[in-house]
Structure formats: C-alpha cells, structure tokens
Amino acid sequence: MRKLFDRLPVALRTDLLEPNLTDETVAHKRKLLEVVDRDLRTGACPGCEFSGWMQPDTILSPDELARLKRTAERLRSETDVLLVIGIGGSYLGARAVIEALADDPDRVVYAGQNISADYIARLREKLERRTNKRGVAINVISKKGDTTETMIAFRLLRDMVGGDARNRIIVTTDPEGGVLRRMVDGGLYEMAFEVPQTIGGRYSVLSAVGLLPIAYAGVDIDDLIEGAADCAALCKNVDPLKNPALFYAVARNILYHQGFAVELLASFEPRLHYFAEWWKQLFGESHGKEHMGLFPASVDYTTDLHSLGQYVQQGRRILFETFVVIDKGERPLKIERGAGNLDGLNYLAGKEVSYVNRMAYEATAQAHREGGVPNMTILLERLDAYSLGALIYFFELACATSGLMLGVDPFDQPGVEAYKTRMFELLGKPGHGKPHSEPPSPQYVVF
C-alpha cells in the first residue's frame, strides 16, 4: 500500500500491476513528472488558465460559501425536491457525491442530460406526484446558457416550481455573459451563483456548480472541501513512489504505451456508480484527443461479473482495471446460521456481508491478474464526505498530470463541438448553415 499520509484515508495497492509495471519503471518517469508538475503549478502548460480547481478551499470565498449554504438550507426547508438541470460537468460531479453520500438522494432529480421526450414527460409526472406539499426548486447550470439539452429541459420544466420563481429558480452561470446571465440581470431570477471562469465543467464539482445541489442533499460540503484541500496540500511531492496520485498517473500512461486501450474503473459498491460516471467524463474528455488516450469505462461488481466478467477474464487483452474499494465503515449486516443449512450457506454463518464483498474483490483482482489484466486498487478508509473530497482531488490531479504526460491539453474539449455543429445545421439554427427540413437520407441494408 502507498498511503498519501496518515492524515488522509487514501491508499494505493500496486502489487497486481506486476510484471507489466514495477516501482522501478514508475520511478524512471521522475524527471518528466518534475517538468509536467512545474508547468502545471506555474501556469506554463497548455490550458493552465483553467487550473483554478488546484486550490479547492479557495474556489469560493468564505462569504460566497456561506451564501451558498444559506440558499441550500432555505430551499431544503421550503421545497420537497431540487431539480438540477444540466449536462456533463454541470451535473455529474454533484450526482456522484449525492448518490454516494446523501441519506435521501431521491430529493434531488436531474434533467437536461438528454433530449428524450419520454424522460421529460415521466419526470413531470413524477414531480407532480411527489411535490403536492411544498413544491420544487430548480438549479439550472450552464456556463453560457446555450447548451441545447439543458435549455430545452429548462424551458419545458421551469413551470414546475411552486411559489415565487425568482427565489426558487437558482441560476449557476457565467459571471459576465450568456443567455442565463441576461435572464438574471433582467430580473427574471434573483438568485445566481457563478461558474468559475478558471475551471472547466468536468473539474467544477467543488465550485458552486456542484456544491449547491450537494448541500441541498444534506451532505457536509465543509468536509468535502477539507478532504480535497488536504489531498492537494499533501500531493505536492513529485516523487511518484511517495505520491499515489502521481503513481496512478504514471502507471496508466505506461500501460497505455504498452498497448492497453481501455481502463476499467471497478467498484463493489453501488453507491459509487455515478462517481464512475463522473470519472469517465473527467478522463475521456480530458485525454481523448489527436487519436490518443485510454478509453475510460466502468463496471459495477459483483453485478457485472455475471455479464462482462467473462470478457474481462478471457477476452482481448486490451484492458486494465482500477478498483475503488471501501475499507471500513460499512453497515453491519451479519449472515445468521440457517436451520438445516438447506441453502448451503452455513459456512458463512457469523460473517459480515461486507467481509464477503471484500473477499469477492480480492478474488476478482487476483483472478483478473492471472488472466492477463493488470490492476491497481484505490483504497478508501471509509465512504464519507472527507474521503470522497480527497478522492475527487486525487483523480483531478492525476487526470491533469496524465494528460500532460500524454502530450494533450487536459482542459479543453474541441471534439464536443462536432455533433453540435451538425445538429444545429440539421435543425436550422440561425447562423449555422442552410436550414434542413429533413436530415440526409441514411443508407440501410435491408434483410
């Protein structure tokens, strides 16, 4: 295990990376890491104008953080549900934390992450059933207010708020311009928070973008920020053998250059499903450029061991795995001895379910390594706000470092615009080419 420090609940298990990768091969990247880390911290790297996430305890001023907490608490006391409208980094970070930590994650619902008529219609019906008492608050999140998915959902759902829309529709947007900013400045909505200009969406979970919904859900955002800030302070050592975040960044790059094409983020805890979704955007949008980068995928074990497990064990050797495992703090649930042992489970009598789950992880990691899948494990002491905050920063730093080692700008996303350009042309959006009444006829093979 390679612990960050005794004060941080994060460790990295690396023994099952061998023989593909050893401490010695990682240590050989020390000089490159020194250059990358220096450029990242001094603002000399590509995209470093978007590195405001690197000091998580200063993203929001104390006054703005206090205002955010008051707003979240007021909305929580006045409404039944918060509807978060956004896509990508505008909602994934918040959802990752809420699904992992909130006592009642269903108090926060989501729209604007797709353009499905059925999804929106069903969501309206769900909100009408659930909010017959205090109603709905909305947090619409978009930097410029021109994201199609977000703004369609906002137009179709903003009438769901009960009471004064100016106080129940919270806008998180650019501080200087854009559609949503004009709505706020024009007096349509009173409450607004800023999308930081120095932080891209996928790195924005510890800004107002993520913290307002997280606070509404009842998660301690002070602990979340503290965990991230402590991780930031303790991850400044450029020796990858003493800094697990940098070890992870180096390891995934070495494996990529060995020919591995896919990294699987694997967890044995369903509460981390949306954390993996956030991780996929973070790494996929940061590294997938110039026909390079690992493809980030995720699996939920043991569920997916009974569907994808066969491929992982014996399919093409293009995969390596990163496990996220919770060490302690899980709910006590003991398997009792059964009369007559008709189900054959008495060999587990007296054991905690969490222990059985842990042994499933140990068995999976070993079996996959034996099958040719290198793997490493990020071990969290427990799943709480402090630990998750540390893990968020761990991945953000590793992502930026790994991208710079790869030779790409880890903070832009030029490829995202390609589908938007084509869609706007097909829909006839003004200023985007000739309107199309119908899309081009696709060619199908008919059987």
Q: What is the pLDDT of residue 428?
A: 84
CATH code assigned at 239: 3.40.50.10490
Do 248 and 173 reside in the same domain of the chain?
no
Q: What is the pLDDT of residue 115?
A: 96
Q: What is the pLDDT of residue 191?
A: 81
Chosen domain end from 372, 389, 406: 406
- Domain presence at residue 412: no
Do 76 and 32 reside in the same domain of the chain?
no
Q: What is the pLDDT of residue 306?
A: 98
- Domain presence at residue 419: no
User: Catalytic residue numbers?
Assistant: 285, 306, 420
Alpha-carbon span 406 to 418, nearest angstrom = 23
Do 241 and 380 reside in the same domain of the chain?
yes
Alpha-carbon span 379 to 9, nearest angstrom = 8
- Domain presence at residue 260: yes
- 10 Å CB burial of residue 357 (0-12, 13-18, 19+) is middle
Domain residue limits at 124: 60-195
Q: What is the pLDDT of residue 426?
A: 82
Do 25 and 64 reside in the same domain of the chain?
no
Torsion of CA 426, 427, 429, 433, to 10 degrees: 20
pTM over 0.75: yes
- Residue 407 DSSP symbol: T
Do 167 and 231 reside in the same domain of the chain?
no
Q: What is the pLDDT of residue 117?
A: 97
- Domain presence at residue 433: no
Do 20 and 66 reside in the same domain of the chain?
no
**pLDDT tens-place string over residues 149-197:** 999 999 999 999 977 888 899 999 999 888 999 998 888 888 899 999 9
**pLDDT tens-place string over residues 382-394:** 999 999 999 999 9
Q: What is the pLDDT of residue 1?
A: 65
Token pair of 152 as six digits:
């369609």
Do 107 and 183 reside in the same domain of the chain?
yes
Do 269 and 351 reside in the same domain of the chain?
yes
Do 90 and 168 reside in the same domain of the chain?
yes
- 10 Å CB burial of residue 235 (0-12, 13-18, 19+) is buried
- Domain presence at residue 145: yes
Considering its fold, how many domains does the chain have in total?
2
Do 307 and 334 reside in the same domain of the chain?
yes
- Domain presence at residue 313: yes
Token pair of 115 as six digits:
């353009």
Do 166 and 249 reside in the same domain of the chain?
no
- Domain presence at residue 442: no
Q: What is the pLDDT of residue 124?
A: 94
Confirm if 18 and 29 have CB atoms less than 8 A apart: no
Do 128 and 11 reside in the same domain of the chain?
no
pLDDT, tens digit only, all 447 positions of the chain = 666 657 778 889 999 999 999 999 999 999 999 999 999 999 999 999 999 999 999 999 999 999 999 999 999 999 999 999 999 999 999 999 999 999 999 999 999 999 999 999 999 999 988 755 788 999 999 998 889 999 999 999 999 997 788 889 999 999 988 899 999 888 888 889 999 999 999 999 999 999 999 999 999 999 999 999 999 999 999 999 999 999 999 999 999 999 999 999 999 999 999 999 999 999 999 999 999 999 999 999 999 999 999 999 999 999 999 999 999 999 999 999 999 999 999 999 999 999 999 999 999 999 999 999 999 999 998 999 999 999 999 999 999 999 999 999 999 998 887 888 888 888 888 887 765 556 666 667 776
Alpha-carbon span 442 to 419, nearest angstrom = 17
Structural element, H or E, at residue 39 = helix 30-42
